A and B are shown apart, each in its own frame.
Chain A
């Protein structure tokens, strides 16, 4: 293969096979290790510490408490967790776009808290925050 100096016509054959090998292996690695995140959930955020400590909180929120035996304390009344959604809907009519604050009393189990979270979202609150008594 005689090289002609100064010729524009030089064709250099680059063997692409090793590069293709590496690229394919990397691609297969990433495809195989790609996991599709199956996390389902509800977003939460902690309310400002500067807000008042009482469960009744500032007027622009919908605030309730979940007791240790899975009852809900809303505006001084004890209601069943399944009743939270219609109550919240009613309150939302008075305070549109109000965020929800859930106070977890004592050892209230997670499933009660999440049921109330679910009910509040079904009732239409704008967002949820969780707190414990005493503002922990």
Chain B
């Protein structure tokens, strides 16, 4: 090859490693994807020092300061909570329930929701809190 410049170089890029990585990432995201439905209402969560991260909390139930129960963007009556939780649990069996209770809400609502959740078969329940600033 004495000084000849090849203008028409066709270099074949081997795409196999990139495909491997892309497929693995895709499968990872598909497997870990859960769809979290927001409650529909913002509450002022109480603070606690011992609050820790609940990574599997994907069933969210909020209790507003007036004691209203909100799930999936709608307000529900206490009697209907069990079936809603049961349905959400069926969609995400590995999930746990997180009760976002407003700090001014009467505490007995939390117990009511816990009871409904147990009736729906959910045993991993936590009360949602914030860490003190």
A interface residues (Cβ-Cβ under 8 A, vs B): 16, 20, 23-24, 26-27, 30-31, 33-35, 37-46, 66, 104, 106-115, 117-118, 121-122, 130-132, 136
B interface residues (Cβ-Cβ under 8 A, vs A): 15, 19, 22-23, 25-26, 29-30, 32-33, 36, 46-58, 60, 63, 98-99, 101-108, 110-112, 114-115, 118, 123-131
Task: Give chain A residues whose Cβ lies under 8 Å from the Cβ of B115.
Answer: 46, 136
Structural contact, A39 and B106, CB atoms closer than 8 A: no
Task: Give chain A residues whose Cβ lies under 8 Å from the Cβ of B110.
Answer: 44, 104, 110, 113, 130
Task: Give chain A residues whose Cβ lies under 8 Å from the Cβ of B124.
Answer: 43
Task: Give chain B residues whose Cβ lies under 8 Å from the Cβ of A113.
Answer: 107, 110
Taking a contact as CB atoms closer than 8 A, the residue among A31, A33, A122, A132 that contacts B49 in the complex is A122
Sorted nearest first, the 3 A-B pairs with minimum C-beta distance are A30-B29, A111-B103, A118-B48
Structural contact, B58 and A37, CB atoms closer than 8 A: yes
Q: Which residue of B lies closest to A43 (CB)?
A: B126
CA of A92 to CA of B78, assembled, Å = 36
Structural contact, A121 and B50, CB atoms closer than 8 A: yes
A-B contact count (CB 8 A): 149
Structural contact, A34 and B127, CB atoms closer than 8 A: no
Q: A34-B33, A39-B98, A40-B51 are in contact. Are A104 and B108 (CB under 8 A)?
A: yes
Q: Which residue of B lies closest to A41 (CB)?
A: B126
Structural contact, A107 and B106, CB atoms closer than 8 A: yes
Taking a contact as CB atoms closer than 8 A, the residue among B57, B98, B103, B125 that contacts A45 in the complex is B125
Q: Which residue of A lies closest to B101 (CB)?
A: A110
Q: A31-B29, A111-B103 are in contact. Are A130 and B111 (CB under 8 A)?
A: yes
Structural contact, A114 and B129, CB atoms closer than 8 A: yes
CA of A42 to CA of B47, assembled, Å = 11
Task: Give chain A residues whose Cβ lies under 8 Å from the Cβ of B52.
Answer: 40-42
Task: Give chain A residues whose Cβ lies under 8 Å from the Cβ of B53.
Answer: 37-40
Q: Which residue of A lies closest to B34 (CB)?
A: A37
Q: A41-B98, A42-B51, A43-B126 are in contact. Are A23 and B63 (CB under 8 A)?
A: no
